[in-house]
C-alpha cells in the first residue's frame, strides 16, 4: 500500500505547513468562503427564527468539521491539530477566531490537507496535494440537502479512508488470485506430458495450462474459492489487528489462561 503511505506523508507535511501559517497570520479567505459567509446570518438579532436556525447550522458544521479533522488526522498520524480542542484545551490561536473564521479555517484545512470538500460532500481518493479552497457552498435551501450532508459525513466518521479501502481490496484480490494459483497441481499423463489439475480432490479433469485450471476452479468450484477467500481475508484481518498499536497483546486476551 505504498500509495496510501505516500498520501499519509503528504497529509502530515501539509498539516505542518498549515498550522505554521495559521499561527503566524490569518489565512487568506477565497471568494467561495466569502460567499459562504454571506449565506450565514451575521445579524445581531439572535431572537429571530432565521438567525437562530443559521446559528444552529453554523455550530453543527463546526462540530462536524472538527470531528472530521480529528478522524482523518488520526488515520494519517497527525496529532498536533490546533483547530480542535485537545483535552478540553483550546489553542490560543483558535480563541482569537470567531465562529465564522473557525469554520473557514476548518474547511480550508480539510481541503488542503485531506482533500475533503465538506459542502461538496466528497472526499478525493487521489494522492495529490490540494491548494486554496473547494468551490462548493452550502445548499441549505434545497429540500433534504442538510440531511444528506449530515448523513454522508456521519457515515465517513464511522468508515475508513476510501483510498486505503480501495488499496486493501486490490491487495486481497491479488492474494486470492495467488491462493487459487497455488491450488493448481501438476500431473504427468501417460505420454509424459505435463498437465494440471484444479486441486479439488473429487475433480480429476485435466488442463493443459495453469490459467485454464484456475478458470475452471472459479467457475465450477465456488465453495472452494469462497473458502480460499475467507482464509485470505482472515489473514489480512489478523495482520492488520496485530499491527494496530492499540490492539491488546495476546497475553492480555480474555481467552488467555495464566500458566
pLDDT tens, the chain, 259 aa long: 566 778 888 889 999 999 988 888 654 444 344 444 444 444 444 456 667 888 889 999 999 999 999 999 998 899 888 887 777 788 888 888 888 889 989 999 999 999 899 999 998 877 556 666 677 878 888 889 999 999 999 989 988 777 666 666 677 778 888 888 888 888 766 665 678 888 887 788 888 788 888 888 888 888 888 888 888 877 776 665 555 444 444 444 344 443 3
Q: Whole-prediction pTM value?
A: 0.60
**Angle 222-243/162-183 helices, nearest 10 degrees?**
130
Place of cell 462536524: 64
CA distances (Å), origin 60, targets 29, 52, 66, 141, 146: 21, 12, 10, 16, 11
Q: What distance in Å separates the CA atoms of residue 216 and residue 208, rounded to the nearest whole number? A: 12
Q: What is the pLDDT of residues 215-226, one digit of tens each?
A: 888 888 888 888
Can you read off the three cell numbers belonging to residue 33?
Answer: 468562503
Q: What distance in Å separates the CA atoms of residue 117 and residue 84, rounded to the nearest whole number? A: 18
The residues pairing with 116 across neighbouring beta strands, listed in sequence order, are 123
| Residue 181: per-residue pLDDT | 84
Can you read off the three cell numbers belonging to residue 53?
Answer: 436556525
| Residue 1: per-residue pLDDT | 53
| Residue 70: per-residue pLDDT | 92
| Residue 182: per-residue pLDDT | 83
| Residue 149: per-residue pLDDT | 93
Q: What is the pLDDT of residues 40-97, one digit of tens each?
A: 444 444 456 667 888 889 999 999 999 999 999 998 899 888 887 777 788 888 888 8
| 138: Cα within 13 Å, side-chain hemisphere | 22
| Residue 233: per-residue pLDDT | 74
The residues pairing with 183 across neighbouring beta strands, listed in sequence order, are none
Can you read off the three cell numbers belonging to residue 132?
Answer: 486554496
Q: What distance in Å separates the CA atoms of residue 36 and residue 137, rounded to the nearest whole number? A: 6
| Residue 136: per-residue pLDDT | 80
| Residue 40: per-residue pLDDT | 46
| Residue 43: per-residue pLDDT | 43
| Residue 150: per-residue pLDDT | 92
Amino acid at each position: 500500500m505504498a500509495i496510501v503511505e505516500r498520501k499519509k506523508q503528504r497529509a502530515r507535511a501539509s498539516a505542518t505547513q498549515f498550522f505554521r501559517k495559521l499561527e503566524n497570520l490569518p489565512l487568506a479567505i477565497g471568494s467561495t468562503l466569502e460567499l459562504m459567509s454571506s449565506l450565514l446570518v451575521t445579524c445581531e438579532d439572535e431572537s429571530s427564527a432565521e438567525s437562530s436556525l443559521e446559528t444552529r447550522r453554523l455550530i453543527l458544521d463546526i462540530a462536524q468539521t472538527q470531528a472530521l479533522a480529528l478522524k482523518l488526522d488520526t488515520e494519517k498520524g497527525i496529532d498536533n491539530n490546533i483547530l480542535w480542542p485537545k483535552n478540553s484545551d483550546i489553542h490560543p490561536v483558535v480563541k482569537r477566531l470567531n465562529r465564522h473564521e473557525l469554520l473557514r479555517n476548518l474547511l480550508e484545512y480539510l481541503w488542503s490537507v485531506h482533500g475533503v470538500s465538506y459542502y461538496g460532500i466528497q472526499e478525493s481518493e487521489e494522492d495529490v496535494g490540494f491548494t486554496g479552497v473547494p468551490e462548493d457552498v452550502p445548499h441549505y435551501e434545497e429540500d433534504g440537502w442538510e440531511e444528506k450532508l449530515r448523513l454522508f459525513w456521519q457515515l465517513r466518521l464511522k468508515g475508513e479512508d476510501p483510498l486505503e479501502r480501495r488499496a486493501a481490496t486490490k491487495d486481497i484480490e491479488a492474494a486470492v488470485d495467488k491462493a487459487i494459483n497455488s491450488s493448481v497441481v501438476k500431473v504427468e499423463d501417460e505420454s509424459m506430458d505435463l498437465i494440471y489439475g484444479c486441486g479439488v480432490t473429487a475433480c480429476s479433469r485435466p488442463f493443459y495450462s495453469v490459467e485454464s485450471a484456475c478458470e475452471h476452479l472459479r467457475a465450477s468450484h465456488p465453495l472452494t474459492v469462497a473458502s480460499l477467500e475467507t482464509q485470505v481475508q482472515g489473514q489480512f484481518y489478523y495482520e492488520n489487528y496485530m499491527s494496530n498499536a492499540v490492539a491488546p497483546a495476546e497475553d492480555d486476551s480474555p481467552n488467555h489462561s495464566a500458566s
